[in-house]
Structure 1
Amino acid sequence: MSEQRPSRQEVIRRRRRTGFVGRRNELGIFRDNFTRNLEEETYQFIFHVHGNAGVGKTSLIRQWETVARELGAVSTYVDDDVHSALEAMEAVSTQLGKQGLALKGFDKALATYRQRLHEAETAPGGQVSAETTTPGQAVSVSSTVAAQVGLAGLSLLPGVGVFTAAVNPQQIAQGADRLRAMLSIRLRNHDDVRLVMSPVQVLTPLFLEDLAEVARRRPWVVLFFDVYERTGPVLDTWLRDVLVTTEYGELPVNVQVVLSGQGRLDARCWGDWLDLIAEVPLEVFTDTEARQLMAAKGITDERVIEVVLRLSGRLPVLVDTLAQRRPHSPDAVGDPSGTAVERFLKWETDPHRRTAALACALPLQLDEDIYRAAVPEAAADQYPWLRALPFVTGQGGRCRYHDVVRAPMLRLQRAQSPAQWQTQQTRLADTFQQWRHSLEATLAPEDRWDDGQWREHRLAETYHRLCANPNQALPDALLELVRACAYHPAALRRWAQIVTQAGLDAASDKLTEWGQRLETATEDDTVGSIPALTVLLTATELSTAGQAFARAIRGREHRNADNFDAALTDYTTALALDADLARAHSGRGRTYFEMGRYGEALVDLTRAIELNPNDSGDIALRGQTYGYVGQYEEALTDLTRAIELNPQYDWALTGRGEIYRSTGRYDDALTDFARALELNPDDTWILAERGYTYWLMSRFEDALIDLTRALEIDSTYVWALTNRGTTQLLMGRHEGALTDLTRAIELNPTYTLPITQRGTTYRDMGRYDDALIDFTRAVDLDPTNDRHFAARGHLYRLLGRQEDALTDLAHAIELNPANAWATAQRGDIYRLMERYDDALADFSRAAELDPQYLASRGETYRLMERWDDASRDIEQALEADPSSLQARFEAAMLLSMTEETDRARQQWEEFDRLLETSAESSTVKTTGLFVARCALADWGRADTLLAAWLTSNPDEVSVAETLLCLNSLARSPHADAARLETYLTQLSRPSRNSSAVTSAVSTGTVA
């Protein structure tokens, strides 16, 4: 087999490497660093190469990269193609992956981030579709994730001072928390919420961990960041924290970083660390270095050397360019009075190549396709020649002209023939437009902005139209910037830079000013797009439709910052400009939804759907809104319609499953969850939702399977941990419940649900002190939640602290008068205190809210010897729920008060059977079975149950309730009073003389 030939790029690299001349001192500084002990103070791990354009910074660091690799290092190279820390990490990871050193943990987390971001965007409340042609459609919400913090700095930006004066810092702080809560609803996972909210903070530690592993496998890792004058504003703080602080973790010392840019590092960011950075300033070539380069090119004629030195100013890129064709006489170099372009191309006699060289200065960057589109047909096969020119640099199949050469070439063409300039720029714009349209045939509208190639075509098209006719193209370019705001801050910054570049290249002060203002507004990627939108809204060139669209997007930003008034103002203004802007109706409807103003939300969402009948996101959100106001049929209609429009819409399927579950249609809910899981088998939210449905159906084993599967996929899923812990609690697996609930609390210490559930577990285990700590913690974290006070009130009741119990339960009922459980708990306390009228009032209210409490009222009537009322309530309770243990118990107790001995026995036996198979706690089972055995005169079994129960140190309320039951049995016509009195004596011994026990003992005929 013949040896594989090197690629064109490898040949170019070899030629460049063998032709590198000069900079011996700089090369030595870098090479010698590899020979030093990594722990010595002389070892450098950060280099900063800086100097004016054309001094050879890129050439030098490319040579450094060659040196590093020759010495066994692995290296990566990043230039101004990245516009955020996230893109920089991705670029490094991609290049390392191509070298067999993939950052697997980071790559996996990055993929998860994109998936979760997509889920957050496509869920109702965040569902979007990309806007590419008309400003009335929905847009991406990616930028809102970062738009909630850092707004205080907006006052420094031109044109936004008035806006920031109205911003409440407290609202901003609340907004970030509120966005987390909103995303929690969509993502159901605390860590996923944090990943979407703060991707750089979450992903950087993983990036550094994987990079450290690469550093363990290789002697050195060198990361090159070129063109840093452009990327520094968005990378400075992140890189500083990565390189010299422990903000994200620690970096191995054998990881070197090289920064290369025109200016010095920003002292505001790097000032405290400049002593750790090895500065490598580059000036123009020395006379000796320039002569060395020319000698290497075979130029020895002193007259030629003097002309080259004078014309180039010893600027390396110009020295190299003028010496490229080895001129043998001064005339062959060029006339000192000639243009710079003539100097560059003097040596090229082929007119087609000269034309191609000039034409290829027009695009921002080149590949072979762009080259063929730019040059005449006669030069179509000359791309390898162009790629090898000394002022053409590149990587990864793309290349670009050096700015020192490109700028004068553009000036020449613009000045020589404005008409030809416009024609060529327009032709390139049309070419990129054609390529974009071809891509659109393969992309869904909502996927276009996510496609990097589509974005590049759109960006290049806009740039060339701005260059061709700045005034005519500016309105459309500003609209593109509005659309970029809707996509992502990183894309927005790229668009702003394009406007600046077009202004410089087309000599348009207006474009340059616009671009610089927008670049300033995008420097902080934690702020999002509000500053840029505020600047854009000052543009008189932006069309009325564009103004409305921009208002709608900024309204969304305000909404997610919890600044609802500002959001409503923007949406309403947008609708005043364009009454049929579906995006504004949708956004205002979403704002009302998040404010809890569901009626107004339904009006706007309905109008949005009228304007865009096939928007599954708005339809699903309206369905969700209907569900919130209890209009379940309307909710099901909308969610079903959303699913018909998009059968793959797993979110809508899951949402409809939740509505089915809320209406007790558990089988339908399970069907929807199963369909959603067919579409997305590893979706932890859907698994957890189905598990929760099984839980409500008391199918605890099935619930455990789904919840465990969700946790196998994501062991940090707090909601699933909480539900699995609760399921184990109901199954009596207290240790497993404590493990899950404690882990959930560790992951999210402010999430009160696992705290209260752990408190309940401790309570059921008899660990009342621990339970009280948890319930009190929940109350402190959320003092507006009635359930927390009700749980602590119930615990106080078990502890015999009846006044504290009444206080907490009263507060719970005050917070939520519809809390039937808290109302019934207070009724139980009143019943034990013989305050029967108060008890009846509470049980009546509780029964209105939930018929199961009819049995509690019936019991109270029984204690008051109002037999008819008691019988009526118990019959109604059994009719409502034949499996109700309390109703079955009261029915048996009532029959025991009569002469119907056989019927009473049948009821007690049925109660005994139901209790044995129930999921009640062990305490409830033991006491219930004990009373049943007493009623059935099974004294042997009763003795065994009582002895086992007393050794467990039962709580006072359980004892009091049991005493009441025994006292009631003692009134039975056929009761064995002597045996019952023995039990009463055992249960009412002095150590149990609490108020509840004393009251229970004093009730009835046996004392």
Structure 2
Amino acid sequence: MPLQNISTNGPENSEKDLSPLDSKPATISEKPGLTRNILDKVGQGGTLAGNVAGTTFQTLANAVGSTGQIAGLVLAGKLHRGEVPNYELAELAGLFGSWLEKQKRGEVSTSSLTVEGLPVFQITLKESGFLGGTYLFIFAATNTPPLDAYARSQKTGAKDFSGIALVLQTWDARRFSLEKEWSYFVWCDSARLGKGGAAADYLSAWLVDLTGRQFEKRDLLEDEPRHRAPAHPDATFTGRGEILDVISRSLLSTDLAGQGLPWLFSLSSVGGAGKSYLLNLIRQTYAPRLLSVRLDHLDYGEANNDLLNLLGLVAARFRQAGCPTPGFDKLYRQLTQSADEAEKKRKKIDFARQVGQVVSGATARKIALQLSKTFNKFWFVKHVPGIIGVGASVIEIGLGLFGQLTQEQQAEIDTLLGSQPVQDLTHTLIKDVARFVNQQQEKYYLWRRPLLVFDTYEQAGPVIDQWLRTVLLASPAFRVLEPVVLVAGRFELLTYDSRWSEFQGSLRSFRLQPFNYNETAEYLYKLGITEPRRVANLYELTGGLPLFLHLAANLNSEATIIKVLAERLLEEVDPDWRAGFLEMAVPDGFNLETVRKYTNPKSQAEPFFDVLRAASFSEYRGGMWHFLGPVRQTFLRYREMKGHA
């Protein structure tokens, strides 16, 4: 059926003839050349095309001196280097129409139109003879829903085409499906997708004459149900569109390095501003395209301050995502299987701890190196950080960041990261992932890109931070896989360690702010809340923090909202400290001296202060630590509700 959004060019809305180009590049052959053996076998109606396509094109590939796979890669490289002309859309359509007429297979008609304002060129071949078929060839910039609708209307209309093939300059990487009965040729990536048949054979034969190469046949993407995108995206998404667009372009690019797009992203905000929500939305929306690994504070805790354990968790996440890690698993078992040996070292561990208590600096480093030679590799990696007093826990210095290490502490981390087990395990894991990604790239046009997500990064610690920066992301073997890495936490990545500036050319940083009033109103409108007074009241109570808005939106009374918000905040606090948190809302800001005034016994002041400033809703400004404004007001009102003076 006709579409309202489809218009035609030319006078009186009639379809416009598309004349062949007068000038042709010198690379185009005027003779049928290598394609004749294909066209002879297609026959009238193309009934043999589907059967002979595979063997015929293999023969043809051998004739031009290349396999199909290598040919596709060569053509893609030539396109990027400008060795093959980057034809305009009208130029391509004109060349194909001219080529079809030279084959004398039947009647060829050409026309142009617009679909949703974009130019589309259409060529129809009606083969001669009683058994002759009719084929539709569509040339367009990319695959859009309106274009699909138009092509379907042609297929189901008065013209019963024997086959439909589309030539697209680019594929819309946000689309994870295609019409199973159509053939697709993606010019910029020299890829052939979808169904075979006579229509596809005609285009393939033309492309061989035009380029000397055939396009590589690949499946669109891995059809695995657990990796499919959700049927209904989150309709309440608000206020982060620019961030999502920038990250999406990198995730969906088929040439991340060639396009110079960023691949390392730092997302920072106070607690409750929506970092984790945004990370989950990205992973869910683009699930079919991603080999996704996510770690957060729970995983850092499970690793128990042990880099080797963390590597095991990373490998486990890759396996859960469908990527086997046989090489890593074998090496990891070799390093960790000997429980008896670990027990035999217990006394040596105790002795080493005593040594670590009385030495430091260069002496400690020498001892660590000697221990690495004396004990097995696994024991060294597992215990040396704790012996020297570095560990993988957060080292709170200054503003509570872990990039500011002493020279001695840095030396011990360098010893750990340079140890053979860490290097071997990391490189073996990269090899396993590379094997999976390479297989994906050979088989699928939309292959699954590695995505590493590190959430609540402020709790990762200096060892993990430096392993990520100096070992994993510094590896050329890992970088060639074109991964995307998202690091989310309370602080910008450069704040943890200024040496992240080494990645400045590939790094984009975003600071997520609470919603402003208009964004709050938009979000609540999507939830069905439109009454202006209630919108204003919810904005005042929540300060525009997305988490607070989500919790409060469906609650009716103000007292209930205060209770729910306060108890949700206190969930991340140990029960022994919760009453103290409510008391610390009374002063407008706090430091260690302030905490001592509110703490009994005084000996608990320092550990309590550490807990206060580690809370996700605390921030440092003006020389003091503060609860976020909405959090402080919530605590104060909840404190009053509980009857505190």
- Scaled by the length of structure 2, what TM-score is found? 0.43
Structure number with the higher strand fraction is 2
- Scaled by the length of structure 1, what TM-score is found? 0.28
By relative contact order (CA 8 Å, sep 6+), the higher-ranking structure is 2
Larger radius of gyration: 1
